[in-house]
Amino acid sequence: MFSTRLPSSLVPSPLAAAVAARRARPGRIVDLTLSNPTAAGLAYPETLATAWSNVDALRYVPDPRGSGAAREAVAAWHASVGDAVSADRLILTASTSEAYSHLFKLLCNPGDGVLVPCPSYPLFEHLAHLDAVVVDRYTFRDAGRWELDERDLRDRITPRTRAIVLVAPNNPTGSVPSPDEWAAIAAVCREHDLALIVDEVFSAYPLAAGVDHVRIPDLPGVLTFRLNGLSKLVGLPQAKLGWIAVDGPDDLTRGALDALELIADTYLSVSTPVQVAAPTLLAEGAAVRAAIAARLRANLAQVVARVAGTAIDARLPDGGWSVVLRVPCVGGPDDVALAMLAQDVIVHPGYFYDLPHDGYLVLSLLTPEADMRVGLDVLCALPLLQPA
């Protein structure tokens, strides 16, 4: 009855079922998978709420690319971080996820392929499948830092590959490619006529010392789509505003913008209220961003200090909202997560993000600091851990 774009089974995994059962019971849970900033105990300025009560939202004047004022506000935010993006090269979307869907429609026929990074966030596979696009993964190897395996990237290209997706900082590793790696990826795109989709939703959350923002270098000759949105930038996933910044050779860029306008016009999914509120949300949201950034840094410091001298190794992220831990342990892939769940702590095993099955965990750095402390204590005392 239903299409093969959907997974063959919607039955939750045994770990997901165990987590759901625990969540259904009363009692305190320490959730080290928390990704919803509005549930993280952060203060949100009231101006973010009053931004929605504007009578301009009562007039419907649809512009498929997004209203000029909202696109100017997004361009102004980019300029504020030293990134010149013209408002007429922006397309607004209802979320970054929708931006992916627009791009898959723009670039791929059914059965065409995109390459996504491994490890990375599981969302891309679902998004691609729903647009009848085939996903293959290219590898970033754990070598202390996450190194691009250029050979692997090249080997995975087929005549049907249309685009490379890159997430910088990546979710969950927090890694950002080195200048040489950016150059190698750009070279592959030029050689094979591939578009590059750069997901920069975590660019405003650098964690490496001395970095104020994660910027992508110039990638001449490559049709590039950069994605961002209010979800992460100002901690408002419910606002439902994302965008695509298009860059590259002039003729391709113009063609892509015209085609994206047609796709966006077909749905007109970005609400008027969020477009009217966007200038205020982007300006006032700086306070939320600062609070999130402080939380991430405090938690990362806590993780590094707590695992020092144990068998656990933290893979230091360049940015983003999570940290990957190498956790040498005995047992199967879910055993650490289940043992922690038995003590009311929820964690993601690494395989959830396509990390190798043996011994990786992913912790959200968005977790309230007191919860992180409890969770780390439980983790470090697990009998499953191999000795340091």
Ligand X SMILES: Cc1ncc(COP(=O)(O)O)c(C=O)c1O
- Residues interacting with ligand X, by CB under 6 A? 35, 95-97, 121, 123, 167, 171, 199, 201, 229, 231, 237, 242
Nearest approach, Cβ of residue 240 and ligand X (Å): 8
Answer yes or no: are the C-beta atoms of 260 and 244 closer than 8 Å.
yes
What is the Cα 280 distance to its own chain's centre?
Answer: 23
Q: In the structure encoding, which two tokens stand for residue 39, read together? A: 């549930």
Q: Is 252 or 263 the residue whose CB approaches ligand X more closely?
A: 263
Look up tokens 């950069």; give the residue.
226
Q: Is 171 or 175 the residue whose CB approaches ligand X more closely?
A: 171
Answer yes or no: are the C-beta atoms of 366 and 292 closer than 8 Å.
yes
Q: Per DSSP, what are the bridge partners of residue 226?
A: 198, 245
Most distant pair of Cα atoms in the chain: their distance: 65
Nearest approach, Cβ of residue 386 and ligand X (Å): 31
Q: DSSP 3-state assignment of 382?
A: coil
Q: Is 229 or 359 the residue whose CB approaches ligand X more closely?
A: 229
Q: Is 182 or 353 the residue whose CB approaches ligand X more closely?
A: 353
- Taking alpha carbons only, the member of 307, 324, 335, 334 closest to residue 364 is 324
Nearest approach, Cβ of residue 201 and ligand X (Å): 5
Contacts of 113 (CB under 8 A, 6+ apart): 133, 134, 135, 136, 158, 160, 161, 162
Q: Is 271 or 343 the residue whose CB approaches ligand X more closely?
A: 271
Nearest approach, Cβ of residue 167 and ligand X (Å): 5
Q: Is 321 or 360 the residue whose CB approaches ligand X more closely?
A: 321
- Taking alpha carbons only, the member of 145, 247, 231, 140 closest to residue 197 is 247
- Taking alpha carbons only, the member of 58, 85, 35, 78 closest to residue 282 is 78
Nearest approach, Cβ of residue 95 and ligand X (Å): 3
Contacts of 276 (CB under 8 A, 6+ apart): 54, 56, 57, 67, 69, 70
Nearest approach, Cβ of residue 356 and ligand X (Å): 20
Nearest approach, Cβ of residue 83 and ligand X (Å): 18
Beta strand 134-143 with 113-118 is parallel
Q: Is 116 or 329 the residue whose CB approaches ligand X more closely?
A: 116
